[in-house]
Amino acid sequence: MATLYFFNTVAAADTDWYTLENWWTDVGLTTQASSLPSSADNVFLLSMPSNSGSEPTVNAITADASLLFLVFPITVTTIATFNYDSQNRSTITGDAIFNTSSVNYNGMVTGDATFNNNSYADVGSTVGGNVTLNNNGLIIGAIVSGDATFNNSEITNVMAGAYANIEGTITFNNPIVFTFSGENYPWEGASDTWVFNDTHEWVFDSGACNRGYVNGNATFHNNSANFNLATRSATVYGDAVFNDSSFNGDVVTGNATFNDSATNSNSGYMGTVQGNGIFSQTSFVGIDWISDILGTVTFTSETPVTFTISDDIDWNLDTTGWTFDTPGQSWIFNNTAHNTSIINGDVTFNNTSYNSNYDGNTNSGALINGNVIFNTDSYNLGRIIGSAIFNDTSSNGVRSELNIPSHGVDGIATFNDYSWNFNNAGDGSIFNDLSYNNGQVNGDAIFNDNSSNGIYPDTFLAYGGIVTNDAYFNNNSYNYSLSTVDGTSYFSPSAAEVTIRYNCGGTDPSFLISSPEIVYQKGINGSSILGLL
């Protein structure tokens, strides 16, 4: 067995394998070979050979120079090795090893092949046996008749087509990270049949998308996404983390964490999280950010979370199972936005937004467990378990020819400005300014300033307000026609002033308080200058 070196020094134009003068016995090219290589010899190629004769057979061959292409078939008994950026562009009958940045370029290796460093099997090439990939070795669309074993730690921007022609089993032995960066590098394949013997993770960045099936956990950065517009079937079989402005538009089978401005939907394409959803943001706009989460929903912000709903958006999300690491969550409704579901937290309604209807029979509809503020022309048609403040011309309930309260505010309702009550309000409710009660206060009520129980003149309503217990009338407040106080009515400054105010301009001269007794200031019970009612 001899070791021979090929280099064409005699005649630059003569690169023939069968020219004896191109062969040397030492790497320094000082001693000419006495014979051509045989099947028992090891050969090192230091320049690119051609072949005018039959297919050579050697024990081993090494392409050991840059830009050296093997362009004719050769048979090796042991191994063919490619170093630097050399390439196999023909057929090697036997096994091969590719090192550095060498390539199996449209070439065929009939046996097994190993790719080390940054070498790879390019599109159009073939390996008839098994493939082993180490370091950053890759398969990029090559046909592999056997198995492919990856010992890599990271694979970057290698798309699904790279693995499509591997006929055997694909196995990853080491912890592996698949990274895709940029819109031109989506993942559109499936990895469900791959074998992972260690941890594995998928990372998408800068507009790259998962459009296929990912087995393992995935992280999305910048404006990347889990989304396939054509098939709507992109799936992460594992947990997912969405950062920056990334989004989930299809399916995550495990848990999903959303950070920064990441969402579980985009432009109407709604994502599904089959596990739990975790949100670290402090503020949210609209409802599209959450879409469909089948497990629990948790907010991990260190400050209270705020939800803002505007336009004509319907908040139809049931927050019953939502968990907040920092208490104090709140909702703000603007324009004609409205709530039709269960909210656990404090709420502010502005403009003409509203808390919609609540069905007590089915315990469904608009229910707020918290304190609520109504501003401008906003109003409440649902149920509030807590206190409520009504400002401007907002209202609890809406005008009706029949005073039939349904739900309203379980706790104390405070009415300011020219707001009004057409529904239920809780014990201790307060009316200030020019506000009035044409609904029902379930318990005591306090009327201050120019507020009233009922309103004069009342050209629309057939029934006045109801107070089921005591009513306290202060300042210039008053009780109007057909309004009812079931308990004791307390007046200050005087019942006489109240009487004069009520009867001015009225058609009914009677004093319009149906309570069994009137108490002028305190300590006087039964009769006053008005007599006994």
From the CB of residue 231, how many other CB atoms can be counted at a distance below 10 Å? 10
More confident residue, 515 or 15: 15
Q: What is the mean pLDDT of the chain?
A: 90
Supply the pLDDT for residue 516: 39
Spatial CA neighbour of 189 closest among 145, 233, 125: 233
More confident residue, 533 or 160: 160
DSSP E strand stretches across 68-119: 69-70, 74-82, 87-88, 91-98, 103-104, 108-109, 113-115
Question: Distance of alpha carbon 521 from its chain centroid, rounded?
Answer: 61
Residue 309 host element (H or E)? strand 306-309
In the predicted model, what is the mean pLDDT of residues 126-141? 96
Q: Report the C-alpha gap between 206 and 208 in whole angstroms.
A: 6
Cα Rg, the chain, nearest whole Å: 41
Spatial CA neighbour of 341 closest among 324, 323, 321: 321
CA distances from 503 to 32, 129, 287, 453, 510 (A): 133, 106, 52, 15, 8
Supply the pLDDT for residue 492: 87
Decide if pLDDT at 437 tops 80.
Answer: yes
* pLDDT band, residue 488 (cuts 50/70/90): very high
- Measured torsion, CA atoms of residues 268, 271, 277, 279, in degrees rounded to the nearest 10: -40
Residue 230, C-beta contacts closer than 8 angstroms, at least 6 positions apart: 211
Question: Distance of alpha carbon 54 from its chain centroid, rounded?
Answer: 64
What's the length of the chain?
Answer: 533
Determine the 3-state secondary structure of 498 from DSSP.
helix
Supply the pLDDT for residue 480: 84
Supply the pLDDT for residue 504: 35
In the predicted model, what is the mean pLDDT of residues 98-102? 97
Decide if pLDDT at 76 tops 90.
Answer: yes
Question: Distance of alpha carbon 191 from its chain centroid, rounded?
Answer: 23
pLDDT digits (tens, 9 = 90+) for 250-286: 999 999 999 999 999 988 889 999 999 999 999 999 9
Decide if pLDDT at 247 tops 90.
Answer: yes
Q: How much is the pTM? A: 0.83
Place of tokens 């396939």: 228
CB 269 within 8 A of CB 295: no
In the predicted model, what is the mean pLDDT of residues 53-64? 97
In the predicted model, what is the mean pLDDT of residues 200-208? 97
pLDDT digits (tens, 9 = 90+) for 345-384: 999 999 999 999 998 888 889 999 999 999 999 999 999 9
Supply the pLDDT for residue 461: 55
pLDDT digits (tens, 9 = 90+) for 375-424: 999 999 999 999 999 999 999 998 754 445 568 999 999 999 999 999 99
In the predicted model, what is the mean pLDDT of residues 292-319? 96
CB 397 within 8 A of CB 414: no
* pLDDT band, residue 13 (cuts 50/70/90): confident
Q: How many percent of the chain have pLDDT more than 90?
A: 81
Supply the pLDDT for residue 458: 59
Supply the pLDDT for residue 494: 53
In the predicted model, what is the mean pLDDT of residues 466-481? 93
Decide if pLDDT at 331 tops 60.
Answer: yes
In the predicted model, what is the mean pLDDT of residues 109-119? 98
Q: Report the C-alpha gap between 156 and 118 in whole angstroms.
A: 12
Cβ contacts of 271-274, under 8 Å, gap ≥ 24:
271/226, 271/227, 271/247, 272/248, 273/248
Supply the pLDDT for residue 528: 32
Q: Give per-residue burial for 403-419: e unless 16+ CB within 10 Å, then b.
A: bebbbbbbbbbbbbebb
Supply the pLDDT for residue 459: 58
pLDDT digits (tens, 9 = 90+) for 15-50: 999 999 999 999 999 999 999 999 999 999 999 999
Decide if pLDDT at 525 tops 70.
Answer: no
Supply the pLDDT for residue 499: 43
Supply the pLDDT for residue 512: 40
CA distances from 284 to 38, 224, 232, 296 (A): 76, 20, 25, 18
CB 445 within 8 A of CB 460: no
* pLDDT band, residue 457 (cuts 50/70/90): low
- DSSP H helices, 166-325, are none
pLDDT digits (tens, 9 = 90+) for 145-176: 999 999 999 999 998 889 989 999 999 999 99
Decide if pLDDT at 514 tops 50.
Answer: no
